[in-house]
Amino acid sequence: MLTIENLNQYYGESHTLWDLSLTIEEKCCTCLMGRNGVGKTTLLNCIMGLVPVKSGAISFQGNNLLKKRAEDRAGSGIGYVPQGRQIFPLLTVEENLTIGLTTVGKGKKKIPDMVFELFPVLQEMLKRRGGDLSGGQQQQLAIGRALVLDPSLLILDEPCEGIQPNIVQEIGEIIKRLIQEVGMAVLLVEQKLHFVKQTADHFFIMDRGRLMAGGNISQLTDDLISKYLTV
């Protein structure tokens, strides 16, 4: 579904991503792991066109993603929930969700029912401002805003950060539903090992901008965790 080949990225003179190659498969959850500062969010930003790529290739469903502008990539079937949620705090829940519809063009005017089926609390709080929601509710809003695009790939950057345990569990269950019932693929950046092992099918580990390991989640060994993930 999503293929990255020999990707290199720089911030000024600093080489941040080194010849990264990986594939995200359809209808499964793949977790990108690594300590803070190893380049995980930078890679996501490259996929979404938010930072420039020096060399390499990114293709999505067989199409060259690097030829698309950042504002067109969401419309091509990728939903992105950035770290820190980045909702609009002064807009209502309904307005936050409706903003997502502007990305998919003129044909779609209505928030999909699926969003409220997955997150009933959003329907109850449609007229409440985003900034008045709890952290867990804001994360649900951020995911819901990405889902209004009806994406085939959902990218989540540390969705469990600062979230109460019951909402963390709910997010895990929703990821599984999106894969099993909708056929969506999920690319997840997350550091909570318990959550990852319960949710992900595959994993990749990054260190200092390089890909160090990958495989089925059953292959995430204690040695890899100790070497690359434990602070």
CATH assignment at residue 65? 3.40.50.300
Range of the domain at 142: 2-229
Please return the burial class of 149, using the count of CB atoms within 10 Å of its CB with bins 0-12, 13-18 and 19+. buried
How much is the pLDDT for 108? Answer: 60
User: In the chain, what is the greatest distance between 2 CA atoms, to the nearest angstrom?
Assistant: 51
Strands across the sheet containing 185-189:
78-81, 153-157, 185-189, 29-33, 202-207, 210-216
**3-state SS assignment for residue 123:** helix
Whole-angstrom Cα Rg for the chain: 17
Pull the structure tokens for residue 93: 């829940």
**Would you say the pTM of this structure is higher than 0.85?**
yes
CB 203 within 8 A of CB 217: yes
**3-state SS assignment for residue 175:** helix
The total number of structural domains in the chain stands at 1
The b/e string for 65-96 (b: 16+ C-beta within 10 A; e otherwise) is bbebeeeebbebbbbbbbeebebeeeebbbeb
CA–CA separation, 167 vs 159, rounded Å? 10
How much is the pLDDT for 85? Answer: 81
How much is the pLDDT for 162? Answer: 86
Pull the structure tokens for residue 130: 């985003």
Each residue's pLDDT expressed in tens, for the chain with a length of 231 residues: 999 999 999 999 999 999 999 999 999 999 999 999 999 999 999 999 999 999 999 999 999 999 999 888 887 899 999 998 889 999 999 999 998 787 665 556 789 999 999 999 999 999 999 999 999 999 999 999 999 988 999 999 999 998 889 999 999 999 999 999 999 999 999 999 999 999 999 999 999 999 999 999 999 999 999 999 986
CA–CA separation, 194 vs 155, rounded Å? 19
